[in-house]
Amino acid sequence: MAIAGALTSVVMMDTIGMAVSILLWAAVLALATAPAIGQDKANTDAGQLLFNNACRTCHTLRDGDNRLGPNLHRIIGRKAGSLAGYAYSDAMKNADLVWDKATLDRFIANPDQVVPGNNMKPYGGHASAEERATIIAFLEASGPN
């Protein structure tokens, strides 16, 4: 009987030890991913702020909500000048571009160089490569086309 009691105690301690180990690993994993989750929120916030300061005067991310400029909802993968319901310039309608990250980067940096004759006046471009990348990541988060 004493052996059975001792064996039960060992099994229970093993089970408790395993549960504690699992909880510790879960805690470590949660702590390890917390900064990444916080960083994603910080990147989204930075993208929102840059978008608001550089783009929102004319553009929105809401589907169907065209303003002075077309909405940028799901812009990644869209052919330039193709959004139904927006009156693009002839230059943009005839531009042979699909908006990918590289093309958006060049366009946000210098719209007149990428699509001469576009209607983005008075916007002349955004010089900071880092800020352009943040804006593009924010646009991309609105979903691929």
Q: How many residues does the chain have?
A: 145
User: Does some domain include residue 52?
Assistant: yes
Domain that holds residue 58: 40-140
Cβ pair 113, 140 in contact under 8 A = no
Separation CA 64–CA 11 (nearest Å): 63
Please compute the mean of the pLDDT values over residues 8-17 and round it to a whole number.
55
Cβ pair 135, 142 in contact under 8 A = no
Determine the longest span between alpha carbons in the chain, in angstroms: 93
Question: If we measure between CA atoms, which residue out of 41, 69, 76 comes closest to residue 55?
Answer: 69
Q: How many domains does the chain have?
A: 1
Please compute the mean of the pLDDT values over residues 66-90 and round it to a whole number.
96
User: Does some domain include residue 79?
Assistant: yes
User: Does some domain include residue 81?
Assistant: yes
Cβ pair 76, 145 in contact under 8 A = yes
User: Does some domain include residue 11?
Assistant: no
The angle that helices 2-54 and 129-140 make with each other, rounded to 10 degrees, is 110
Cβ pair 115, 92 in contact under 8 A = yes
Higher-confidence residue: 127 or 42? 127
Cβ pair 89, 111 in contact under 8 A = no
Separation CA 95–CA 98 (nearest Å): 9
Give 81-120 pLDDT, tens digit per residue.
999 999 999 999 999 999 999 999 999 999 999 999 999 9
Q: What is the CATH number of the domain that holds 79?
A: 1.10.760.10
pTM of the model: 0.70
Give 14-66 pLDDT, tens digit per residue.
666 554 455 444 443 444 444 444 446 566 799 999 999 999 999 999 999 99
Residue 138's pLDDT is 95
